[in-house]
Amino acid sequence: MFQRRWRNLAVGGFEGARAGHESWKRWRLDAPTPMEKMRILDPTPDAAAVKLTYQRAAQLMPAFKDSSVTAAWAGYVDSTPDGVPGIGEVASLPGLVLAAGFSGHGFGIGPGAGHLIADIVSGAQPIVDPKPYHPDRFKSSAWGKVADF
């Protein structure tokens, strides 16, 4: 999935490294954190992509030719290279359980993922083997070392 969609991805501006949880910068606990300030990301829709999508829809469904696009919205999708979320405790930060990279599948796998996350956090026997979802699977790839968790 990632190989087919990589051209549609845009590298972020390293906002997290400058002010987010990855930075060394400290913030007050009685004020909104950088993550709370950036919680609602509102990117500008790509007008060319909206136009192309509309044209393709009109080709597939001719009734759309008599309509127009009145609004467009853009958002971010957290993706992983394999399209499967990273779920598990981060070894370098005991107690932190990561659940990210749902690649747009959150509604579909949310109930099962939520159950697995609850099992991990509570120490219960997980309903499925959590190993295939662990973020450590991204520590290396065919190209070598990727990340340090």
Tell how many helices (H) and how many strands (E) occur in the chain.
5, 4
CA-to-CA distance for 90 and 57, rounded, in angstroms? 43
Three-state SS annotation for 114-125: HHHHHHHHHCCC
User: Which residues in the chain come in under a pLDDT of 50?
Assistant: 149
DSSP alpha helices (H): ranges in the chain?
2-5, 15-19, 34-37, 47-60, 106-122
User: How high is the pLDDT of residue 126?
Assistant: 95
pLDDT in tens, 49-75: 999 999 999 999 999 999 999 999 887
Could you tell me if 113 and 68 are in contact, meaning their C-beta atoms sit under 8 angstroms apart? no
Tokens, residue 41: 């990301």
- Give the three-class secondary structure for 87: strand
Could you tell me if 68 and 89 are in contact, meaning their C-beta atoms sit under 8 angstroms apart? no
User: How high is the pLDDT of residue 122?
Assistant: 95
CA-to-CA distance for 95 and 83, rounded, in angstroms? 25
User: How high is the pLDDT of residue 66?
Assistant: 92
